[in-house]
Amino acid sequence: MTFLNIIFIGGTLITSGDDGYLYLWDRERVVKRILAHEGAIFALNANSKLGTVVSGGMEGLVTLWRLLVEQKTNVKSLERLRICNMRKNMDPHQAVLTPECNVQSVCLGHNRIIVGMRTGTIQEVTIKVDPGV
C-alpha cells in the first residue's frame, strides 16, 4: 500500500492510500483506518476552521468528512457528511477506468469544493457545513 496524500487538521495527521482507505495517525502509528473510496484516493484537503476534510477517489466520488475527537479518550474518527457523485450514474468499477470520472485534486473552501478531474476539467460543488452540527 502506498500513501498518496498527507494533511494535518487540528493536530491530527491524515493520509490517503492507493487502497481506498483514509488513515488517522497518532505520532508514528495508525490509530484508525476508514474505508472511504473504491480504489485509490488521489485527492485530500482540509479546512481547519470548520474541522472538515474532503477526499476524492478514482471511482468518481468526492466525500466531505468531519474530524471527531473524543474529549476524554482522545479517540479520533471521521464522520461522513456528504458524498458528491462526479461520475454520473456510472458503475464505480467502470468509473475507475474512465479518466473523465477520476478525481485528481480537491480544494475545500468555506462553502464549496473545487474538483479537478484527471482530464484537466474543473468542477465546483456547493456545500453547506454547519459547524454546530
pLDDT of residue 69: 86
Q: Which fold has domain 3-126?
A: Methylamine Dehydrogenase; Chain H (2.130.10)
List the chain domain ranges: 3-126
Q: What single-letter amino acid sits at 51?
A: G
Least confident among 4-8, 9-13, 78-82, 113-117: 9-13
pLDDT of residue 76: 87
Distance in angstroms between the alpha carbons of the first and the last residue of the chain = 34
> Is there a contact between 82 and 111 (Cβ–Cβ < 8 Å)?
no
pLDDT of residue 132: 52
Using one digit for the tens of pLDDT, what is the confidence trace for 81-133? 999 999 888 888 899 999 999 999 999 988 899 999 999 999 999 987 555 54
Using one digit for the tens of pLDDT, what is the confidence trace for 45-59? 999 888 999 999 999
Exposed/middle/buried for 2, CB within 10 Å: 0-12, 13-18, 19+? Answer: exposed
pLDDT of residue 133: 46
Q: What single-letter amino acid sits at 7?
A: I
Contacts of 54 (CB under 8 A, 6+ apart): 43, 44, 45, 46, 62, 63, 64, 65, 106, 108, 113
pLDDT of residue 61: 96
